[in-house]
Structure 1
Amino acid sequence: MATLALTILSAKPTKAGKYPVFIRISVKNDKEYIKTEYQLDDACQWYEGKVVARNDATMINKRLLFELKKYKDRLQYIDNYEYYSAKQLKAILTQQDKAAPDVRTFNEFMRQRIKEKKEEGKESHAKMLEDTMKVFEAAEGDVPMVLMNHITIEHFDRWMKIHGHTDGGRQIRLSQIKARVNEAIKLGLIRCDKHPFAYTKIPTPEPRELDIPVEAVRKIISTDVSYSRQLDLAKDMFLLSFYLGGMNFADLIQIDFSEKEISYVRQKSSEHKKKNRQITISICPEAATILNKYVKNGYIKFDYKYTVGNLQRYINKCLKLLAKELNIKGSLTYYSARKTFAQFAAEIGIPYPIIEYCLGHSIKTGITINSYVRVKQYQADAAIRRVIDYVNDPEVFKPFIEMRNQMQMMMM
């Protein structure tokens, strides 16, 4: 039978003459010790398992009892713990502290993830997590791990609804919180009979209509806006993304364009636990013409002293000006190029796996055929060429699109 208790080793002071307080693990005649952060000036300050003769004795005793309870709770979750040695139990009980040191609240656990993302250079993801933390703390404050349950999550979601957060905003916040909750459960930091999200459904917002019609893309291509630096930048960045299969801005600025083809892994995909998906495509002539204006030593360079995030915001601002100048209805952003490419590809019958390859999405391997067949570069190149041809001469594709639509209606 294993027991845990607070103790000091009066015969073994530190070199500084201090007496650390330990949690003793006893298994039969075997003993191991977990060192706490507290230490005493004299062995006389310890009596019958408590700190005495100190002004802060009451506070220290409360914290020590909290530490002891933490390890006792962990012990209860170890199956057949009576069969382990004291050394083995110590390794199991302290594993969580090594994985997430000094974490007492869920907020601290989230901040730890934000710090990790910044250290990995993933500033954009870190900023999104920081924004989620601000919303969460405004609603719930600093939440101890023991209170991170379904009641807290339900209240947080209700708070966001009351304060006017959209379904899309709630989806982002709840998904990020849920991902961190799952990590905390995996590490044993959260113990619960019911998952904190057991009664909270993460909303699925209606997809935003960010794609623009083929006539609008043709207008962007054909209109000379060289008289305005802002409009020229907006036109080039929209078309460059479109001609490169809907490439994200974060990827665009980090790719080496010194060769006639490019290979890269979407930065967003690198966050996934599954194997990263590499995209290889040729640079079409239309894209090469634009790249010649911006590429220096293989990489795109802008004559702006903006951060990456601010530069993308500036480009989106310029795209709004372009939409107004060309009388393009709806929302025109850098992301519109990606959405528009995907929409056109689907309309002209490009198989979905090839579209997903161009976009850098992971293929669903749960479908048997996708475990055997993989998309190749020449297929992606052909798909991009076909989408560009569709924009250049949509009338040629019109009979095919109409016939395809009729066949799809017949299959319903």
Structure 2
Amino acid sequence: MNLRLVILKAKQRADGSNKIRIAVSHNSTTRYIPTRFIVDGEKNLRNGVVVNMANAAYINQQLRTELNKIYTIFDSLEDRDAYTCSQLIKVIKHKMTKGTIRTVEEIDFEMLRVKQHSWSEGTIRLHNDGIKRFIEYAGKNFILSMLDSAMLYAYKSHLKKQGLSETTIGIRIGVIRRLVYFATTHGYAKYDIPPFFDYKEQAPLARDIALSLDQLREVRDMEVTGKWEECARDIFMLSFYLCGMNLADILELDLTKKFVKFIRVKTKSRRNPNEQTEFSIQPEARAIIDKYMCEDGKLRFYGRETKKSIQHITDDYLRKIRETLGIDKMVFYSARKTFAQLSNELMIKDSIIEYCLGDAPANPRRALNFYIRINKRIADKAIRKVFDAVASDKTLEQLMNEADV
């Protein structure tokens, strides 16, 4: 590829002036890239250098920068000779316009185009809401490369004044963090000091919604009034007996088998397909499953089978159970928290708890993870230990003492 600065007489402007163009010669063909600089005529461009103009030094400096950018882009391409000159021009223009003068809206469009196939509907919904709120604050056509930590703190203060919780604020800021990361890794924004470099976020507090062992037994043994309250209790206990499984995953399972094997819907897009959780369906879970399972192996709760319709049951009737038993912190997610917490108190290893929950290892690069793997046999033994503890009439203190032995 050869580059030179030229004036094309055929492209002369109405007032007689001429735009400087970059002639790109490649594979015996020449195409042109117009620049933003204009000269009076050929007398102002000699041997590729602008002369006889007051700002000639500045123009020459800028043109050298443009030429260097094109050479850098060309050098970065693989199989350069395979491109036609027209194709090469398109690549150069695309990479040159893919600069840092991009608005939040433009970068968000590119990000969603890439992520829409791997993100869940819920993630996309949270992302869109976060972008909308930031644009309302920063204004339309805000250039993302102008973002700095001072503006992030100001935005956080703005969200606080709206009365939002720390969790919601963290989600909103997280949306911007992901956008900045996408922009910088794809060349849409550059920062001398990244906006999140010295931005400190308050670590989120883990929600204390795990039930105690006694409370869990109360839920299991309570006298329910009406089919919907019974249904809500059963769904909650089924989640616990399936190791805190989320509703979306429960509804995906083929429950005709004696075991479950799955990757959580929530994390499926970013997990290795081989990293599946597998464990046996214990008798406690099977008793509930058999009440609601249809011939296709899926669950139907009195005609309701979609996640949204079933959530209405759990939201409404778990609230009633909570009020009846006086368990203020009980929500559907408590089943997952309770399984994890009780497993921990029974001295079950973190790696086994993570496996049963279907979570990715907290530190997948830890050296030990290259040598050991949790499997169905190990999981089944740990799960049975938890459920036997629940089925017993022993106190948690007694069970913990036994676990220490």
Deviation at 1:264, TM superposition (A): 0.6
Distance across 2 between alignment mates of 1:341 and 1:133 = 35
Counterpart residue number, 1:105: 103
Contact preservation (8 Å) 2:107, 2:188: no
Counterpart residue number, 1:91: 91
Counterpart residue number, 2:144: 145
Q: Classify 1:179/1:105 alpha carbon distance in 2 versus 1 (closer, same or farther; 3 Å).
A: same
Q: Classify 1:306/1:130 alpha carbon distance in 2 versus 1 (closer, same or farther; 3 Å).
A: farther
Counterpart residue number, 1:348: 346
- Letter aligned with residue 239 of structure 1: M
Query: Could you say what secondary structure the match of 1:200 adopts?
Result: coil
What's the Cα RMSD here?
A: 4.0
Distance across 2 between alignment mates of 1:401 and 1:224 = 29
The farther-off stretch of 78-87 and 237-246 is 78-87
Deviation at 1:48, TM superposition (A): 8.3
Counterpart residue number, 2:289: 291
- Letter aligned with residue 282 of structure 1: S
Pairing 1:282–2:280 present = yes
Distance across 2 between alignment mates of 1:373 and 1:285 = 29
Q: What is the aligned length?
A: 360
Contact preservation (8 Å) 1:106, 1:148: no
Deviation at 1:342, TM superposition (A): 0.2
Query: How do residues 3-402 of structure 1 correspond to structure 2 at under 5 angstroms?
Result: 26-27=23-24, 31-32=30-31, 80=72, 90-91=90-91, 93-94=93-94, 104-110=102-108, 113=111, 122-142=120-140, 143-225=142-224, 227-272=225-270, 277-296=275-294, 297-303=296-302, 308-309=307-308, 311-325=310-324, 327-363=325-361, 364-393=363-392, 395=394, 398-399=397-398, 401-402=400-401
Contact preservation (8 Å) 2:231, 2:301: no
Contact preservation (8 Å) 1:174, 1:202: no
Contact preservation (8 Å) 2:213, 2:396: no
Q: Structure 2: any 5+ residue segments left out of the alignment?
A: 12-18, 42-62
Deviation at 1:217, TM superposition (A): 0.9
Distance across 2 between alignment mates of 1:158 and 1:267 = 34
Query: Could you say what secondary structure the match of 1:281 adopts?
Result: strand
Query: In terms of Rg, which structure is larger?
Result: 2
Contact preservation (8 Å) 1:132, 1:176: yes
Contact preservation (8 Å) 1:236, 1:290: yes
Deviation at 1:169, TM superposition (A): 1.6
Contact preservation (8 Å) 1:117, 1:125: no
- Letter aligned with residue 376 of structure 2: Q
Deviation at 1:206, TM superposition (A): 1.5
Deviation at 1:348, TM superposition (A): 0.5
Counterpart residue number, 2:52: none
Contact preservation (8 Å) 2:102, 2:144: yes
- Letter aligned with residue 358 of structure 1: C
Q: Equivalent pairs: percent with the same residue?
A: 27
Q: Structure 1: any 5+ residue segments left out of the alignment?
A: 11-21, 36-46, 50-70, 408-412
Contact preservation (8 Å) 2:23, 2:33: no
Distance across 1 between alignment mates of 2:210 and 2:124 = 28
Deviation at 1:370, TM superposition (A): 1.7
Counterpart residue number, 2:15: none
Contact preservation (8 Å) 1:245, 1:384: yes
- Letter aligned with residue 219 of structure 2: I
Query: Could you say what secondary structure the match of 1:267 adopts?
Result: coil
Deviation string 1:118-171 (CA, Å, 9 cap, x unpaired) is 666822222222332333233223223343443443332221223222222222
Deviation at 1:254, TM superposition (A): 1.2
Contact preservation (8 Å) 1:4, 1:72: no
Contact preservation (8 Å) 2:299, 2:305: no
Query: Could you say what secondary structure the match of 1:300 adopts?
Result: coil
Deviation string 1:375-412 (CA, Å, 9 cap, x unpaired) is 0101111111111111112527634524778x9xxxxx
Deviation at 1:212, TM superposition (A): 0.8
Deviation at 1:339, TM superposition (A): 0.1
Contact preservation (8 Å) 1:244, 1:287: yes
Q: Classify 1:213/1:75 alpha carbon distance in 2 versus 1 (closer, same or farther; 3 Å).
A: farther
Distance across 2 between alignment mates of 1:367 and 1:8 = 66
Distance across 1 between alignment mates of 2:68 and 2:148 = 20
Contact preservation (8 Å) 1:24, 1:34: yes
Deviation at 1:82, TM superposition (A): 7.8
Q: TM-score normalised to the size of structure 2? A: 0.75
Distance across 1 between alignment mates of 2:23 and 2:226 = 78
Distance across 2 between alignment mates of 1:152 and 1:73 = 31
Deviation string 1:30-82 (CA, Å, 9 cap, x unpaired) is 744679xxxxxxxxxxx989xxxxxxxxxxxxxxxxxxxxx999987778458
Distance across 2 between alignment mates of 1:5 and 1:393 = 89
Distance across 2 between alignment mates of 1:74 and 1:384 = 64
Contact preservation (8 Å) 1:241, 1:248: yes
Q: TM-score normalised to the size of structure 1? A: 0.74
Q: Classify 1:322/1:6 alpha carbon distance in 2 versus 1 (closer, same or farther; 3 Å).
A: farther
